Amino acid sequence: MAAALAPSVPFAAAELPKPEAMMGAIMANTVTTAPAVPALTNFGAQVRASWLIHSVCLFIVVVLILPVGLVAIGSGSGLIALPYEMFELAGRAPVLFPAHMLASALALLLAPAVVMVRHRPKLHRPLGRLLGGFVVIGGLTALPVAVMSHSPALARAGFFVQGLIWLFLLGAAVAAVRTQDIRRHARLMLAMVAVTTGAIWFRIMTGMAIALSLPFEPVYVLSAWLGWMVPLAFVLLSPRLTSTMLAR
């Protein structure tokens, strides 16, 4: 019996782990797994931010871009009566002004679709080329139309510079995609779209001036600049936000 029990002695004699060692192992596991909680929190915050950005963009498209773009097409094609100042300008530029209205409106309406299909090259490329064509026509006609307008000089300067910036951003975006710099191309195109939305904010600002009985001419001049500068600055100064917008 003694010989039979002998092999079991080493196991019986083995010491149990000390409480200090067990606590050390627990603490080591805790330290190792702790970063998982902030990672999950950051992921949830990113999802919420992405959802909020896409909801705001959808609101802008449905509530602002579609109505303004469709009305501009109606005005440029003669289906909707123009305000007197624009009617008088259309009479002095019977080709340039309608071409500017139609091309700019089509660019405004097409831009969201181009952004939405950015991950589908077979759709994105032809639609992007079509958008670029509308921007070229709208931008080139914006320059003489701004000069021929009877708007205050500072407002005409704002429209003229907007046309130049619009064309410059398009050219820079095309150059970026030709060098395979897709991220820069995406940022520049988004900046170009921001300038395109200047037509929306200009109408909102001048409409509010009329509704609130504010001095119209100063607001008109400010709108001609701020209408496109503010959204452009928002895109250029918020790279993380725009990256989140383009992530999906």
Quick: pLDDT tens for 32-44.
444 545 555 665 6
Look up the pTM and report it: 0.76
Q: 26: how many CB neighbours lie within 10 A of its CB?
A: 10
Q: Which helix (H) or strand (E) holds 244?
A: helix 239-245
| pLDDT at residue 56 in the model | 73
Residue bearing tokens 């192992």: 25
Helices (H), 34-179: 36-59, 66-77, 84-92, 96-116, 121-148, 153-178
Query: Mind listing the pLDDT tens digit of every residue in the chain (248 residues)?
Result: 444 444 444 444 445 455 555 445 544 454 444 454 555 566 566 666 666 666 777 777 777 888 889 999 998 888 888 887 888 888 889 999 999 999 999 999 999 999 889 889 999 999 999 999 999 999 999 999 999 998 999 999 999 999 999 999 999 999 999 999 998 999 999 999 999 999 999 999 999 999 999 999 999 999 999 999 999 999 998 877 667 666 65
For residue 61, the model assigns a pLDDT of: 77
Instruction: Read off the pLDDT of residues 114-146 as tens digits, 9 standing for 90 and up.
Output: 988 988 999 999 999 999 999 999 999 999 999
74/85 Cα distance (integer angstroms): 17
Kindly report the number of other CB atoms within 10 A of residue 143's CB atom: 18
Instruction: For residue 24, give both structure tokens.
Output: 């050390």
Give the whole-angstrom CA distance, residue 202 versus residue 228: 8
Q: From residue 15, how far is each of 19, 24, 27 by CA, in Å? A: 12, 17, 22
